[in-house]
Amino acid sequence: MNALKSFWKNIASLWSLIVGLQVTGKAFCGPQVTVHYPRQTVGPEGLEGFRGHMELVPSVKDPAIPKCISCMMCATSCPSKCLTVVKQKEPKPTEEQLKAMAEAEARGEKVKKLSAPKNPAQFIYDFSLCSFCNTCVENCPVGSIRFTTNVYFATTNKADLQMNLVERLAKQAASGKTVPGEKPKKAAKTETAQSEA
Amino acid sequence: MTRTINPDYIRGDLYTQRFEQGKRENTLILNMGPQHPSTHGVLRVVLEMDGEYIVRAEPVLGYLHRMHEKMAEVKSYVGFMPNMGRVDYLHPLAWNWSYAGAVERLAGIEVPRRAEFLRVIATELNRISSHLLWWGAYLLDLGAFTPIMYAFEDREILMDILQRPTGARLTYSYFRLGGVGADMDERCLRQILDFVPYLRKKLPVYKDLVTDNVILRKRLEGVGDMDVDMCRRYGATGPILRGAGLASDTRLNETYSVYNEIDFDIPSFPETDAMARYMVRIREIEESLKIVEQAVAMIPEGEILIKGAPKPNWKAPAGEAYFATEGARGKVGVWVVSDGGKSPYRIKLRAPGFSNLSLFAEASQGTLLADAVAIMGSIDMVIPEIDR
Chain A residues whose beta carbon lies within 8 Å of the beta carbon of residue B85: 131, 133
Q: What would the mean pLDDT of A75-87 be, rounded to a whole number?
A: 87
Average pLDDT over residues B214-225: 86
Looking at residue B130, its pLDDT comes to: 92
- For range B311-336, the mean pLDDT: 90
Q: How many helices (H) and strands (E) does chain B have?
A: 16, 8
Q: Is B366 exposed, middle or buried (0-12, 13-18, 19+ CB in 10 A)?
A: exposed
Instruction: State whether B312 and A139 contact (CB < 8 Å).
Output: yes
Q: Is the pLDDT of residue A24 over 90?
A: no
Confidence of residue A53 (pLDDT cuts 50, 70, 90): confident
Q: Cβ of A78 under 8 Å from any chain B Cβ?
A: yes
- Closest B-chain CA to A17: B213
Predicted local distance difference test score (pLDDT) of residue A42? 82
- Euclidean distance between CA atoms B359 and B231, whole angstroms: 7
- When scoring B214, B218, B305 by the number of chain A Cβ atoms within 10 A, the one with the most, hence best to mutate, is B214
**Tens-digit pLDDT profile for residues A168-183:** 888 877 787 655 444 4
CATH superfamily of domain region B68-387: Cytochrome-c3 Hydrogenase, chain B (1.10.645.10)
Residue B101's pLDDT band (cuts 50, 70, 90): very high
Average pLDDT score over chain A: 79
3 state DSSP class of A162: strand
Mean pLDDT of B117-126: 92
Least Cα separation, residue A139 to chain B (angstroms):
8
Q: Does A197 touch chain B (CB under 8 A)?
A: yes
Helices B186-206 and B274-298 cross at an angle (nearest 10°) of: 150
Count the Cβ atoms, other than its own, within 10 Å of residue A9: 11
Burial of B104 (0-12, 13-18, 19+ CB in 10 A): buried
Shortest distance between the Cα of A148 and any Cα of chain B, in A, equals: 11
Q: Rounded to 10 degrees, what is the CA torsion of B178, B182, B186, B190?
A: -90
Burial of A192 (0-12, 13-18, 19+ CB in 10 A): middle
What number is the average pLDDT over the span B96-122? 91
Nearest residue on chain A to B310, alpha-carbon basis:
A139
Instruction: Say if residue A189's pLDDT is above 50.
Output: no
Q: Do B173 and A147 touch (CB under 8 A)?
A: no
Write out chain A residues lying below 8 Å of B83, CB-based.
79
Q: Does A23 touch chain B (CB under 8 A)?
A: yes
Is residue B322 over pLDDT 90? Answer: yes
> What is the share, in percent, of chain A residues with pLDDT greater than 70?
89
* Nearest of B219, B247, B263, B249 to residue B375 by alpha carbon: B219
Give A191's pLDDT tier (boundaries 50, 70, 90).
Answer: very low
> Quick check: B274 and B223 in contact, CB under 8 A?
yes
**Domain residues of chain B, as ranges?**
68-387
Q: Do A24 and B81 touch (CB under 8 A)?
A: no
Nearest-CB residue to B163 (from A20, A49, A76): A49
Residue B41 pLDDT more than 80? no
Beginning with the edge strand found earlier in the chain, give each strand of the sheet holding B53-60 in spatial order: B28-32, B44-50, B53-60
Tens of pLDDT, residue by residue over A92-148, are: 878 888 888 888 888 877 777 777 778 888 888 988 888 888 888 888 888 888 888
Distance (Å, rounded) from C-alpha B126 to C-alpha A81?
Answer: 28
**Whether the predicted pLDDT of B153 surpasses 80:** yes
Alpha-carbon B75 to chain mean position: 24
Pick among A9, A33, A135, A151 to test the B interface (most B CBs inside 10 A): A135
Angle, helices B369-379 vs B352-363, to 10°: value is 160
Return the percent helix, strand and coil in chain B, to nearest 5: 50, 10, 35
Q: Where are the domains of chain A?
A: 48-196
The fold of A48-196 is: Alpha-Beta Plaits (3.30.70)
Q: Which is higher by pLDDT, B17 or A93?
A: A93
Q: Of all residues in chain B, what percent carry a pLDDT higher than 70?
A: 93
Report whether pLDDT(A197) > 60.
no
Given CB atoms, is A150 within the 8 Å cutoff of chain B? no
pLDDT over 50 (residue B316): yes
Distance from the Cα of B10 to chain A's closest Cα (Å) equals 39
Give contacts of A76 with chain B, Cβ < 8 Å.
Answer: 312-313
Interface touch B214/A77, C-beta < 8 Å: no
Q: Which residue has the higher pLDDT, B20 or B47?
A: B47
Q: Does the distance separating the beta carbons of B157 and A20 come in below 8 Å?
A: no
Q: Mark yes or no for CB contact A193/B208 under 8 Å.
A: no
Q: What is the CA angle B65-B66-B68, rounded to 5? A: 120
Q: Give the closest of B171, B213, B312 to A77, CB-based.
A: B312
pLDDT higher than threshold 60 for residue A185? no
- How far apart CA B229 and CA B235 sit, in angstroms, is 10
Higher model confidence: residue A192 or residue B74? B74
C-alpha closest to that of B54 among B318, B383, B388, B362: B362
**Burial call B226-253: b when 16+ CB within 10 Å, e when fewer:** bbeebbeebbbbbbbbbbbebebbbbbe
- In 3D space, the residue among B307, B246, B278 whose CA is nearest the CA of residue B379 turns out to be B278
**Treating both helix axes as pointing N-terminal to C-terminal, what angle do B147-166 and B113-141 enclose, rounded to 10 degrees?**
160
pLDDT digits 0-9 by tens, B173-206: 899 888 898 888 888 889 899 999 999 998 988 8
Give chain A positions within 8 Å (CB) of B163: 48-50
Average pLDDT over residues B334-355: 90
- Checking if the pLDDT of A194 tops 50, the result is no
CB contact under 8 A, A79 and B76: yes
Instruction: Identify which of B83, B168, B209 has the shortest CB distance to residue A132.
Output: B168
Q: Which residues of A touch B312 (CB under 8 A)?
A: 76-77, 79, 135, 139
Q: Which of B85, B165, B312 sits opposite A135 (nearest CB)?
A: B312
Nearest to B213 among A16, A51, A139 (CB): A16
Across the A:B interface, residue pairs with CB atoms under 8 Å apart total: 93
Tell me, what's the pLDDT at B141?
A: 85
